[in-house]
Chains A and B, each alone.
Chain A
Amino acid sequence: MGMDFGKVTRRRFLLRAMLPAIAAGAAAGSPRLSGALAAVRSVSVLASTGPGPIPVTLNVNGTAHALRIEPRVTLLDALRERLALTGTKKGCDQGTCGACTVLVDGRRVNACLTLAVMAQGKAVTTIEGLANGEQLHPVQAAFLAHDGFQCGYCTPGQILSAVALIAEKRPTDEASVREWMSGNICRCGAYPNIVAAVRDAAGARS
């Protein structure tokens, strides 16, 4: 299933690169000659795939999705444009704003700088995967309770980042929450309410 990356092919350049060493070994009557030849066999150029569409399987919110996409497609674009999971937002598209924050194997990352092909075999969690049916995730509920947004565009990223902050057991005083949420920019400036929501969800004492 998917790509067969384990396979390697041999190319002539390697033999050329190794030949002087082999020749030197042979001239000296080295008993290691067979070892050098074995090295040539083991060091090979990797098979590559693309640049056209290739099979990529993504596990998103517990569901496996088989796609055919180019290696250059980011996880963010795959989520939004191929899987119609538009909860994950595209803000700066250069790792600066955090609107695209998702969890990969439980760790928060910027989906805009992640290649979809490199997210294979990992569990991706987006904002669509947080609630349990109609029951909101505690961080989602806290954002509602504290009015932790204005326009809402940064909110999915803020919430995923906050979920990770709590899982990482970071300190929950106000200054620490601001620092550990600094990868998520809010152009509306809803920070006071965002910080309150995160602290509430983390069980911080005020």
Chain B
Amino acid sequence: MNAFRYAQAHDVASAMATVAADPGARYVAGGTNVIDLMKEYVEQPSLLVDITHLPLRAIDASARGVRVGALAAMSDVADHAAVARDFPAVAQALLLSASPQLRNMATIGGNVMQRTRCAYFRDVSQACNKRAPGSGCAAIAGVNRQHAVVGGSEHCICTHPSDLAVALLAVDAVVHVRGRAGERTIPFERFHVLPGATPQRETVLEHGDLITAVELPPSAHARSSYYLKVRDRASYEFALVSVAAALDVTGGTVRAARVALGGVAPKPWRSHDAEAALTGRPATAATFAAAAQAATRGMRGYGQNDFKIALTQRAVARALAHAGGAA
């Protein structure tokens, strides 16, 4: 790990001003991602600003939903009764993430900012446009079993590793951010960006921006949401494919639907095609199968990851059956 300076923040404005002023500065909270990447020399910050003493840990439930402070631990959010009741996919995604130890450490804000698990990104001897822009992408012609089948570019085919982010997409979460110009809110679907020619850029945040909260607005589809994670091991493993399905079924008809995918794209991937195949249709296996087919429209494999396309179809159909109460 490179040597770095350390500062402890006690108010949001000073934390933000400190990081914004120094291109080499990074926030640290749970540390589960940034410390790990620092040990691999993938991240080499000159200054870490410790934000764990900021008052951003509260989880507030009200009629307007749940407002999760950015510093709330994954474990505390997963155990929160209102989250489990009104946003089951969020609680399920959290409990299927990482390990109990890591969930005690990692925060909600950090979780949605975590970097890809691509082995080439994590190995500084390898070409990676995300870590070293212009160096190439070793994954495209390399070991790409874990990689993206949609949303990638000739510069990067990594996948986004967060389970939580997939669930947040399906329940229409809103990210609250404090930046130079003050507070702003970002709908979760617009929070992450695709790699295109600049895979080093992963979100719409500017350097120094600080996530202060993630807001979960109540909805009928969020209340009957479900998270399905398919992985190589039964536990403690990143997703090959995951699906967050949220369905409002009234009188046997789908009134509202959200289908979000993990493990298949460089960002949490919302399938509007699948949602269109569901909305206004009867909540039947045939409808779910059609939506599952639609969810994989435009997907392409790179050899070792071709299997993800069929796996996505099956996972979407199964997740919809669960969310729709049929399974």
Which residues of A approach B to under 8 Å, CB–CB?
A: 3, 5-6, 8, 11, 13-14, 17, 42-52, 54, 70-72, 74, 93-95, 98, 101, 107-110, 113-115, 117-118, 161, 164-165, 168, 178-180, 182-184
Task: With both chains docked as a complex, state the minimum distance between the C-beta of B59 and any C-beta of chain A, in angstroms.
Answer: 16
Residue contact B101 to A43, C-beta cutoff 8 Å: no
Residue contact B52 to A45, C-beta cutoff 8 Å: no
Residue contact B2 to A43, C-beta cutoff 8 Å: no
> Which stretch of B9-17, B192-200, B220-228, B262-270 is in the interface?
B9-17
Q: Which residue of B lies closest to A54 (CB)?
A: B6
Chain A contacts of B7 at CB under 8 A?
5, 46-49
B212 at the binding interface (Cβ < 8 Å): no
C-alpha spacing A183/B52, complex, angstroms: 23
Nearest 7 A-B pairs (CB), nearest first?
Answer: A183-B99, A51-B3, A71-B6, A5-B8, A182-B235, A48-B7, A48-B5
> Which of A13, A110, A117 sits near B32, CB closer than 8 Å?
A110
Residue contact A17 to B180, C-beta cutoff 8 Å: yes
Chain B contacts of A98 at CB under 8 A?
99, 101
Residue contact A101 to B6, C-beta cutoff 8 Å: no
Given contacts A45-B17, A50-B3, 18 further A-B contacts (CB under 8 A): A5-B8, A14-B17, A43-B17, A45-B14, A45-B21, A48-B5, A50-B6, A51-B4, A72-B3, A110-B105, A113-B32, A115-B6, A115-B28, A118-B50, A179-B235, A182-B99, A182-B100, A183-B98
B154 at the binding interface (Cβ < 8 Å): no
Task: With both chains docked as a complex, state the minimum distance between the C-beta of A55 and any C-beta of chain B, in angstroms.
Answer: 12
C-alpha spacing A153/B101, complex, angstroms: 18
Most chain A CB neighbours (cut-off 10 Å) among B28, B35, B101, B102:
B101
Residue contact A45 to B18, C-beta cutoff 8 Å: yes
Residue contact B101 to A183, C-beta cutoff 8 Å: yes
Residue contact A117 to B6, C-beta cutoff 8 Å: yes
B39 at the binding interface (Cβ < 8 Å): yes
Residue contact A13 to B21, C-beta cutoff 8 Å: yes
B260 at the binding interface (Cβ < 8 Å): no
